[in-house]
Chains A and B, each alone.
Chain A
């Protein structure tokens, strides 16, 4: 992921993150061009969620830097500030919708508070984004507790897109969903990425989803990226760690304690 003639949309350099002296991520490097989609796979506890939280600025880095269009966003001392975070859209694993607001208000939130739109303009934009993901105006008056997990993720996708981010980060978008809903979410994500030329980083351990969403796939193991390539090569690689993970073998170099 390094043959770039022009400035990459997203560049992660020498990223390191630890919690209580335990190193979670180290020496993570990659860069992505505008409109490209990277899927990061890896087992539970490999540091996937921490990685995209570091990229989005939710966690401050111990070392390294994040650049968007050549501009350094995060440094060692601080996480990103509010303006910097507008570069990133973040779709949470559990959707993280605001449960005191209805679906329209949830989607309008970013437009109202991050983009400083008027109430009416934010609501109109929310309805537009909801229609983009196939949610009707009538349904928009429901609350997050009234809808299924799959629909919550659809709403979270619409909310993520309202602030017009340059980079979208998806934290296990299909985890906990049935195969049909997983395909629907993946289709919507692809549709949004392509129609708006978004750069996307998705973390998942759902191999079908990884194959559908990624232009490239990388594997995170023990806090560092150990392999990257095109999705087609994922099942052809000689890397034993990748082979074990993608084929779901219990025996192999990855032990359960990892």
Chain B
């Protein structure tokens, strides 16, 4: 096989995947906008994605906030800037760590679960059964998951931000000996609305990407148990990579 053949075939395959994802995204967005709406499924997804992810996101951000306080204190002590610890913890969590960590954790939990569920339905012909019962799988399966994920991620990030800042506060006050009032003042004084808003916008975009990749890989899964396994892995890997790439692009957008 010649080199040009390999390059050509790879390029065509890559473009085909991009095309399939683009068409899937277009149909998914249309399904989110146009009726019928399945509120019961949507509420179930809110509980599944939002409520059940709270412990995972809470624990992740709590310990991240605590580590951040410890590490930044180590660094700042070297040039006598210990006072900036609280501000750095708050800014890092709201602008960056909160959305990215929550996104990656939810991607592992929810992206995998969505892909496994939908691909199992594909393999066992339940998606075809939906169609024969005059129900559009995009509206019934995909739209509620995407909308729920877009709404849940910012809420999770908001909770994660608070828990993470509290983690930093615990370490700052009880381990590093900061005054409680001073630490809280330092946390809020330099924090601006854009810091929180940019984190929440990122979270909503990550929520969309997680659900979209879970649904896409589940819907287009191969046959059998291997197909389900591959769909789950691909959903988590692709949504994690997309989260990191989109995070940089959005950070540039919000960079002030």
Residues of A within 8 A of B (CB): 53, 56-58, 82-83, 85-86, 88-90, 92-94, 96-99, 109-110, 113-114, 159-160, 163
Contacts and interface: CB of A to CB of B under 8 A. Distances in A.
Contact of A114 (B125, B128, B135): B135
Contacts of A86: 134
B59 interface: no
A143 to B, nearest CB: 14
Nearest to A171: B125
Given A82-B135, A90-B132, 10 more contacts: A57-B131, A58-B132, A85-B131, A85-B132, A92-B129, A98-B126, A98-B129, A99-B124, A113-B135, A159-B133
B134 A96 contact: no
Interface string B200-219: 00000000000000000000
Contacts of A114: 133-135
Contacts of A93: 125
Interface string B103-146: 00000000000000000000011101101111110001000000
Contact of B125 (A94, A110, A113): A94
Contact of B124 (A56, A82, A94): A94
A163 B133 contact: yes
Contacts of B129: 90, 92, 96-98
User: 5 shortest A-B CB distances, which residue pairs?
Assistant: A114-B134, A90-B132, A96-B129, A96-B125, A110-B133
Contact of A56 (B132, B136, B140): B132
A53 B124 CA distance: 15
B126 A99 contact: yes
A113 B141 CA distance: 13
B128 A83 contact: no
B128 A92 contact: yes
Contacts of B128: 53, 58, 90, 92, 96
Contacts of B133: 85, 109-110, 113-114, 159, 163
Contacts of A98: 126, 129
25 contacts: A57-B131, A58-B128, A58-B132, A82-B131, A82-B136, A83-B134, A85-B132, A85-B133, A89-B132, A90-B129, A93-B125, A94-B124, A96-B124, A96-B125, A96-B126, A96-B129, A98-B129, A99-B124, A109-B135, A110-B134, A113-B133, A114-B134, A159-B133, A160-B132, A163-B133
A163 B130 CA distance: 12
A90 B132 CA distance: 6
A133 to B, nearest CB: 17
A58 B131 contact: yes
A56 B135 CA distance: 14
Contacts of A83: 134
Contacts of B136: 82
A29 to B, nearest CB: 23
Contacts of A57: 131
Nearest to A160: B132
A96 B128 CA distance: 8
A88 B124 contact: no
| Residue of B134, B135, B136 with most chain A CB atoms under a 10 A cut-off | B134
Contacts of B124: 94, 96, 99
A246 to B, nearest CB: 29
A158 to B, nearest CB: 12
B211 to A, nearest CB: 18
A70 to B, nearest CB: 21
Nearest to B120: A99
Contacts of B131: 57-58, 82, 85
A110 B140 CA distance: 13
B192 to A, nearest CB: 45
B228 to A, nearest CB: 13
Contacts of A97: 126, 129
A85 B125 contact: no
A66 to B, nearest CB: 14
Contacts of B134: 82-83, 85-86, 110, 113-114, 163
Contacts of A96: 124-126, 128-129
Nearest to B133: A110
A97 B140 CA distance: 16
A99 B135 CA distance: 17
Contacts of A92: 125, 128-129
A251 B178 CA distance: 90
Contact of A88 (B126, B132, B140): B132
Contacts of A110: 133-134
A167 B128 CA distance: 17
Nearest to B44: A100
Contacts of A159: 133
